[in-house]
Amino acid sequence: MSTQHALSAAEWVAYQESGYLLKRGLFDAAEMAKLLTFAKTDEALMAGATGRKDASGQITKLTLWNHAGEDLYSMFSRSPRIVDRMEQLLGGEVYHYHTKMMLKEPLVGGAWEWHQDYGYWYHNGCLFPYLASCLIAVDRATRQNGCLQVLKGSHLMGRIEHGKTGDQTGADLEIVEAALARMELVHIEAEPGDALFFHCNLLHRSDQNRSADPRWSLICCYNAARNDPFKESRHPRYTPLKKVTDEAISQWQPPRAALAGER
């Protein structure tokens, strides 16, 4: 396990107690501008987007892929700035579970209901909650455009039951209401390049985007190698993850065929 980007002792304790850790400016302005420019013109990203209705019927779109490759998105999910820290948080080797681009568009982007990621990842054959995610703000995230909300310390409750809410899988609302009465609700407002590391049992949600500003975010998800699922599912079993260098994002160029407009 590399210590190049190790968390401090205080950061590690904060994550264990709160279930999340916000690292401001993990990626710089030039890296985020490159990602946003590429993503906004990526026809494959748009073509692969699927909608999820919230309880009121509003739709949020996302594009998801299971395997990290050589594209620009994968330069983020394979970045040691994320992976080194994930190895520390999850206590050993990790692998890429999946990455998704969340597309919460102006005025129409739907809410995400209260849920834990492990609420459904558990059913994929992951016996232990040795999973975590890193949400990278691509656009500025505010309360107005539906930033992520978390219940501080809720990961310590363990996994709770989930059921269908709209097209989404949501947590048992009776348990959520009890947790809301006892735990601090935190709105994660963020600038592009800020990154939120969060535990798979942390309760989180987001409001609809009622503003004129988009809120896109790239979410890279990881599983501990020792938590290799015991069965096949829509997300992969263990495959080794090869980290890139810190310079990989700034040095990345589209394939020559894409640059030349070839088919």
Q: Is 86 left (phi over 0), alpha (psi -120 to 50) or beta?
A: alpha
The per-residue pLDDT for range 189-199, each reduced to its tens digit, is: 999 999 999 99
- According to the model, what pLDDT value does residue 108 have? 67
pLDDT for the residue 261: 46
Is the pLDDT score of 28 beyond 60? yes
How do the domains of the chain map onto residue ranges? 11-225+241-252
Name the CATH superfamily housing domain 11-225+241-252.
Answer: q2cbj1_9rhob like domain (2.60.120.620)
Instruction: For residue range 60-104, list pLDDT tens digits in order.
Output: 789 999 999 999 999 999 999 999 999 999 999 999 999 999 998
The pLDDT score that the predictor gives to residue 71 is 97
pLDDT at 258: 53
User: Quick one: DSSP state of residue 172?
Assistant: -
Which is more confident, 217 or 166?
A: 217
Predicted pLDDT at 89: 98
How large is the average pLDDT for residues 181-210? 96
Tell which residue, 20, 12, 7, 14, has the closest CA to residue 149: 20
